[in-house]
A and B are shown apart, each in its own frame.
Chain A
C-alpha cells in the first residue's frame, strides 16, 4: 500500500481541487482525521491531479448549477427581491444570517430583501460538505457567494449606466435602487433592470469587494430571521416534514456489534395494527407502519434471530488497545530529526501521557429523514451536511440514476459534526423504496446513541519535552494514537455510513503505512503540531512557535465502532494534550503560564489573543500551583489555554477560573474569559453565540461525557448513561473579547472555543490543587484520584 501512497500538502490543496476530490468520493475530513496531513492514496492522487489539471472547480457535481455562473448564485425578481443560492447549510449556528448579510451588503439591498436558498440538488450549487468551520472562509473571501454578489452589483451598475446615460462611476447603488450621484431623480430599481431575467455572465474573479469601512449590514449584529418561528413552534424541522400518504418507519439494529441476521419472522408482527411491511436487506431490518407508535410497537415485537456479535475490546483497557494494535497508519507532521539528541542534552526532560475518550455528537433530537421513492425516482428530505454526496451515494444504495435522486436539506437538531443524519437518510430511502410510498424515519434514543452515532475519536497522546538550565524549551516530541471507522457518505459508496454497511456495502478500506514518510510540506490541520514549535518543513519555519527541535508523529488504527468528525476532531484532543503539557512545562520551569507561552510563540495573531484573554481576566503573573492553597475543602485556581485552530483557521485563547472541592472531587467552573480572532467579524452577536456555546459544550465534554461499552455493545444509550450538563448546572460567567480584523481573510469560528476548554480547566485544577489531571472527562472520582496521587507523592 505504502508505495501507492504519499503525503500531499493540504495547504496546497485549493478549495476547488478539494471540491473535485469530494466529487470523486473523498471528503476533506477523510484526509485529515487522525493523521493531520492530507494522505492521498494512489487513486486519490489521480483524482487530485485531474482536479488540478482541470483548474478551478467550475461545475460542481454533474447536475449542479455551475459554480462560475452568476445565475447559479443570485436571482433578482421583477419586484427587486433577491434570492441567493448557497451550498452551505444552516446547521443552527447562524451562518444563513451571516450569508444573507453578505449578499445584502455586496448587492446594496436591505437585509429583509434577501431570501437564502441552501442545499437542494435541483436548485443550489454543489459546495461539498458544510463542515470543518469552512462556511465562513469559503463564502466570505474572494470566491463563491461573496464574489457572486459583488459581480451582480457591478453587472447591475453596468445595466443602469446604459439605461440612465451615466458612466458607472457616476452612479450609486443603495437599497436596490441605482441613481445618479449628481441627480438622484435619475434612478432605476434592480427589478426594472433585470426583472426576473438571467444575468448570463460568469463570476468576475477580479471584482471589487466592498471594503469593511463601507459596511452597513455586514459587521452588525443582525438578528436571525428564523428566531421568531423557532420560539413560537412554527419552524419546520426535517422532523416536521409531512407528505400526503406518508408512512412511518422504524429500524431494528443488531443487538451486538458484528451480529448478523439469521432469520426474520415476519409473521410475528403481521397481525399488529397498522403494519404495512417488514423490510430486510442483508443486516438492515426495518418496519413500515401507518403511524409512528405502531411502527415502534412492531419493531419491539418483531422476532429476529441474530448471530453472536464479534466482540469489542475492553473499555477499561481501550487506551492500551489503541497503543498496541498493528498494523498502523503513520504520519509525520514535522521532524527536525534531532529530537532524541536534544532531549539527551537537555537539563530536564518532562514526559506525560494524556487520554481522551470517544464522545458523542449527542444531538438533542434523534436523527430523522423523510424519503419518497417511487419507481425510478426519489425525493429525499435530509438533515445531511452534504446533499450532493448523499444524492450520489443514495442512488447507489437504491440502484437509481443520480440525476433521478433529488435531495433537499431540511434542518435537523444541531449536529456538531457527522451525527446520524446520513444513516437515517439511508434508512428512510430503503424503507420508502420497499413500500413505494413516502416514509418518515426518526431513530430511537438508543438507536441514535448505539447505532446512529459516529463517535468522536478517542486519543492517547504522549508528550515529551526538554528544558535547558534557564527553563527554555529546547525540544518537543509529540506522538498520538487514534482509531477510526467509516466516514462521510462518499459520492461513490454508501458503505461509509452505518446503514450502508448493514445493507451490504463496505466502508473505506484501512490503509496501513509504517514507517511514516518524511513530511514534505507543512500542514497543521489536526493541530498535531504544538503551537510552540517552529513547524520547519522544506527548510522554512511555518509553525507558530520558536522551538526548533520538533517531531510530531501520529498512528491511526481501525476502530471497532463507527467514528466521524465531532466538533474540532483531533484538534481538540491534540490541543488538550499540548496545552496541558505546556502548563506542566511552565510549572517545571517555575514560570508564569502566560509569560512562558509568550516566550515560545512567534505568531502575532496567536500572541495577541493570548495577551487579550489574559488582560480580560486580569491575569496575575505567577507560577502554578497557587501558593498557600489548603489541601482540604474548596480551593480556587485559574488555567490558561490557546490555539491557532488548524494552524491558521482562527485564533483563540481563554482563562478558566475554577473551584475544586477537594473532599468530593467536584469541579465548578466559575468564570471563563475568552478572546477570539476569526478575521473580519460578519456578525458579532452570532460569533459570540458560537463562542459561548462552544465554551460550554467544551465544558460538558471535559467534565462528564464518555462513550462506554461492554464486551458486545455500547452501553451509553441515553442521557443517564451519557451525561450532558443540563441548563440547571452552575453556568459560569463568560466574558468574550472579539478581535476584529477587517482587512484579513475570513476564517472559521465554529470550533475555536471548544478546542481549548478542557486544557484550561485541567490547568486551573492544577493551579488550585497541585494535582494534574490528564484524562477526560474530569469526573469527581478522577479528580480525587489525582489529588490523592499528588499528595502521596508530596
Chain B
C-alpha cells in the first residue's frame, strides 16, 4: 500500500491504507476523530458528513483516495468546547440535541449550505436538510439553531457592511 496524503482540519496526515477505504474509517480509526460517525454506510442519513472542497460530502461512501490533497474539515475543525463556532454555539443556546449522534451531520450539512447560500430562507434550509435524519426528532430545535446562526450572521454581515461603508466615507 502507498501512503495517502490527507489535509484534515488544517493538518497534514500520511495514512497507509487501502485506497478504496471509505474516508470515514480513516477519519475515525486512523485519525481518531469523534465528529464524523457511521450511521448507515449508504449515504442515506448524514451522520458521516464532512466538508471537502467546500462541499458537504458523505464520508461513508467516499473512497479516501478521491479526496487526497483536498482540504477536509470535520466537526472538530469548526470550533472547540472553549471556543465553539457560532453555529455550534447556536446549538448550545437552543439545547438542540438529545442523544447527539446526528449532530455532526446536521451541523456540517447546514454549515456547507449556508456558506454557499448565506441568504437562504427557512424553507430553503429545510430543503437543504431533507436528507439528514435525527431519530430523537429534535428537528424543531435544530432548525431553530440553524436559523439563529443564519440571523446572527446576517446581523454581523450588515454591521460589517456598515463599518466598511463608514471606512470608505472617511
Contacts and interface: CB of A to CB of B under 8 A. Distances in A.
Bound together: yes
Interface of A: 91-94, 223-224, 226-237, 239-240, 242, 248, 273, 291-294, 362-366, 411-414, 416, 442, 444-445, 685, 689-690, 692-697, 699-700, 718-720, 724-731, 734
Contacts of B80: 232, 234
A330 B97 CA distance: 41
Interface stretch (B51-59, B135-143, B152-160, B162-170): B135-143
Given A292-B25, A414-B98, A229 B41 contact: no
Contacts of A724: 133, 135
Interface of B: 17-18, 20-22, 25, 28-29, 32-42, 44-45, 47, 74-76, 78-81, 84, 88, 91-92, 95, 97-104, 106-107, 126-143
30 contacts: A91-B99, A92-B136, A93-B98, A226-B100, A227-B91, A231-B75, A231-B100, A231-B103, A232-B81, A235-B100, A240-B34, A293-B17, A293-B18, A293-B21, A363-B101, A365-B101, A411-B99, A412-B99, A413-B99, A414-B136, A442-B38, A444-B41, A445-B39, A689-B138, A693-B98, A693-B136, A696-B140, A718-B42, A727-B129, A728-B130
A607 to B, nearest CB: 28
A291 B29 contact: yes
Contacts of A228: 81, 84, 88, 92
Contacts of A94: 98
A705 to B, nearest CB: 11
A364 B99 CA distance: 10
A293 B30 CA distance: 11
Contacts of B36: 233
B80 to A, nearest CB: 6
Nearest to B88: A231
Contacts of B21: 291, 293
B140 A242 contact: no
Contacts of B39: 364-366, 413, 445
Contacts of A731: 126, 139-140, 143
A-B pairs, 8 with minimum CB distance: A728-B130, A92-B99, A233-B35, A414-B99, A233-B75, A230-B100, A696-B137, A727-B129
Contacts of B141: 689, 692
B81 A234 contact: yes
Contacts of B28: 239-240
**What does DSSP make chain A's interface, helix, strand, loop or mixed?**
loop
A232 B139 CA distance: 19
Nearest to B79: A232
A239 B98 CA distance: 17
Contacts of B37: 237, 239, 365
Nearest to B75: A233
B98 A729 contact: no
Contacts of A224: 95, 97
Nearest to A363: B135
A233 B75 CA distance: 6
A729 B128 CA distance: 10
A277 to B, nearest CB: 19
* Residue from B21, B35, B134 with most neighbouring chain A CB atoms (10 Å): B134
* Residue from B25, B97, B141 with most neighbouring chain A CB atoms (10 Å): B97
A273 B100 CA distance: 35
Contacts of B81: 228-229, 232, 234
B142 A718 contact: no
A33 to B, nearest CB: 22
B101 A364 contact: yes
Nearest to B104: A233
Contact of A230 (B22, B97, B132): B97
Nearest to A290: B29
A234 B33 CA distance: 8
* Residue from B36, B80, B81, B139 with most neighbouring chain A CB atoms (10 Å): B139
B25 A689 contact: no
A235 B78 CA distance: 15
A749 B78 CA distance: 35
Contacts of B84: 228, 231-232
A718 B99 contact: no
A242 B141 CA distance: 32
Given A414-B135, A718-B40, A727 B130 contact: yes
B5 to A, nearest CB: 19
A292 B29 contact: yes
Nearest to B30: A291
A364 B38 contact: no
A237 B42 contact: no
Contacts of A233: 33-36, 74-76, 104
B34 A364 contact: no
A275 B28 CA distance: 20
Contact of A728 (B44, B76, B78, B127): B127
Contacts of A93: 98-99
Given A693-B98, A731-B143, 19 more contacts: A226-B100, A228-B88, A229-B81, A230-B97, A230-B100, A235-B34, A235-B100, A236-B34, A364-B102, A365-B47, A366-B38, A692-B138, A692-B140, A695-B137, A719-B44, A726-B131, A726-B132, A727-B142, A734-B140
A690 B91 CA distance: 16
Nearest to B77: A233
A728 B104 contact: no
Contact of A720 (B44, B92, B99): B44
Contacts of A231: 75, 84, 88, 91-92, 97, 100, 103, 107
* Residue from A364, A366, A414, A442 with most neighbouring chain B CB atoms (10 Å): A364
* Residue from B22, B98, B130, B143 with most neighbouring chain A CB atoms (10 Å): B98
A737 to B, nearest CB: 16
Nearest to A362: B135
A412 B136 CA distance: 13
B78 A719 contact: no
A224 B28 CA distance: 25
A713 B28 CA distance: 32
